[in-house]
């Protein structure tokens, strides 16, 4: 691990201002950042500890939803009575991720910000446009079983690993931030994560130094809520395919997918096909998919996962 300097921020605005320092990174739980530092994939020159900012509360929002502080731990968020009652898809998604020990440390903002990655990202002996922009993508033409089937580019075919973010996408969450100049803004989660294009190393819509303060959930959507995760082993594994769904009594609803793209994947225009069944709905959601010979199974797997969710919704 390379040497770095360290400070504790005293306010969100101070943290954002400090992040303008070259090579600065925020650290809270550190469950992703510290691993990458040990591998020298991430080499921050300065760490800004944000754990003391008091952003660890879940509060009722004025509009009727919930405002989740950026530093709320995944375990606490999953266990919150209001989340379990009104946003069950979020609680289930959180419990499907990582291990109990990691959930105890991981934060809401950190979960959203974990790196989109693949095995080649971790291997510093291979080319990776995320680690070194312009160096190439070793995954293209390599082992692609767990990688993206849609939304990829010639520069990157990695998938976003978060379970929580998939549920947030289905719930139309909004990410609240503060910039280094002290101004605030709200970013719909639909626009928060970016597709790779020619710049896969730029993974979110955040500006330099911008700091997440909270995530707001809208008023409860009602209906029945599900999170189904299909993976190679029962725990501590990223999704091959995951489905976050909010299904109403009339068969309409919302669907977001994990494990298939560089960001949580949702196509609102395709959700009108849900009353017709999983086949038509998934065909519309994954229209334009370009799977490889190793991961083409994900297309059918996503359809079967959605079919299981819809069958359970009908009871």
Rounded to whole angstroms, the Cα distance separating 221 from 212 reads: 24
Q: Which of 52, 71, 90 is the C-terminal boundary of a domain?
A: 52
pTM: 0.97
Domain-located, residue 230: yes
Residue 242, domain CATH: 3.30.390.50
Would you state the structure tokens that stand for residue 48, as one six-digit string? 């800004």
Rounded to whole angstroms, the Cα distance separating 205 from 220 reads: 26
Domain-located, residue 140: no
> Tens-of-pLDDT digits for all 315 residues of the chain?
789 999 999 999 999 999 999 999 999 999 999 999 999 999 999 999 999 999 999 999 998 999 999 999 999 999 999 999 999 999 999 999 999 999 999 999 999 999 999 999 999 999 999 999 999 999 999 999 999 999 999 999 999 999 999 999 999 999 999 999 999 999 999 999 999 999 999 999 999 999 999 999 999 999 999 999 999 998 889 999 999 999 999 999 999 999 999 999 999 999 999 999 999 999 999 999 999 999 999 999 999 999 999 999 998
Domain-located, residue 238: yes
Residues 6+ apart with CB under 8 A from 236: 98, 99
In this prediction, what percent of the chain has a pLDDT beyond 70? 100
Residue 101's nearest CA partner among 73, 128, 123 is 73
Domain that holds residue 242: 225-314
Domain-located, residue 188: no
Domain-located, residue 38: yes
Pairing of strands 211-217, 5-8: unpaired
Residue 28, domain CATH: 3.30.43.10
CB atoms within 10 A of CB 284: 16
Rounded to whole angstroms, the Cα distance separating 246 from 277 reads: 14
Give how many domains the chain has, as a whole number: 2
Rounded to whole angstroms, the Cα distance separating 262 from 150 reads: 8
């Amino acid at each position: 691990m390379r040497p770095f300097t360290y400070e504790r921020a005293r306010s969100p605005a101070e943290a954002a201002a400090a992040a303008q320092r070259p090579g600065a990174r925020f650290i809270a739980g550190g469950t992703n950042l510290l691993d990458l530092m040990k591998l020298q994939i991430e080499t921050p020159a300065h760490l800004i500890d944000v754990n003391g900012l008091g952003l660890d509360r879940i509060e009722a929002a004025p509009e009727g939803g919930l405002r989740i502080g950026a530093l709320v731990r995944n375990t606490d968020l999953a266990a919150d009575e209001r989340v379990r009652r009104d946003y069950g898809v979020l609680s289930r998604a959180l419990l499907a991720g990582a291990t109990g020990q990691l959930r105890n440390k991981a934060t809401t903002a950190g979960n959203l910000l974990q790196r989109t990655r693949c095995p080649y990202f971790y291997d510093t002996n291979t080319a990776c446009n995320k680690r070194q922009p312009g160096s190439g993508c070793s995954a293209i033409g390599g082992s692609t079983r767990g990688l993206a089937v849609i939304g990829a580019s010639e520069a990157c075919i990695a998938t976003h690993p978060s379970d929580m973010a998939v549920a947030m996408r289905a719930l139309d969450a909004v990410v609240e931030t503060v910039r280094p100049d002290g101004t605030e803004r709200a970013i719909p989660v639909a626009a928060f994560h970016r597709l790779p294009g020619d710049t896969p190393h730029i993974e979110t819509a955040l500006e330099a130094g911008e700091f997440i303060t909270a995530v707001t959930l809208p008023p409860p959507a009602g209906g029945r809520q599900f999170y189904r995760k299909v993976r190679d082993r029962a725990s501590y594994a990223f999704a091959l395919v995951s489905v976050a769904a909010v299904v109403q009594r009339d068969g309409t609803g919302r669907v977001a997918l994990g494990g298939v793209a560089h960001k949580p994947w949702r196509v609102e225009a395709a959700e009108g096909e849900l009353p017709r069944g999983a086949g038509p709905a998934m065909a519309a959601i994954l229209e334009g998919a370009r799977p490889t010979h190793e991961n083409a199974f994900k297309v059918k797997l996503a359809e079967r996962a959605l079919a299981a969710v819809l069958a359970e919704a009908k009871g």
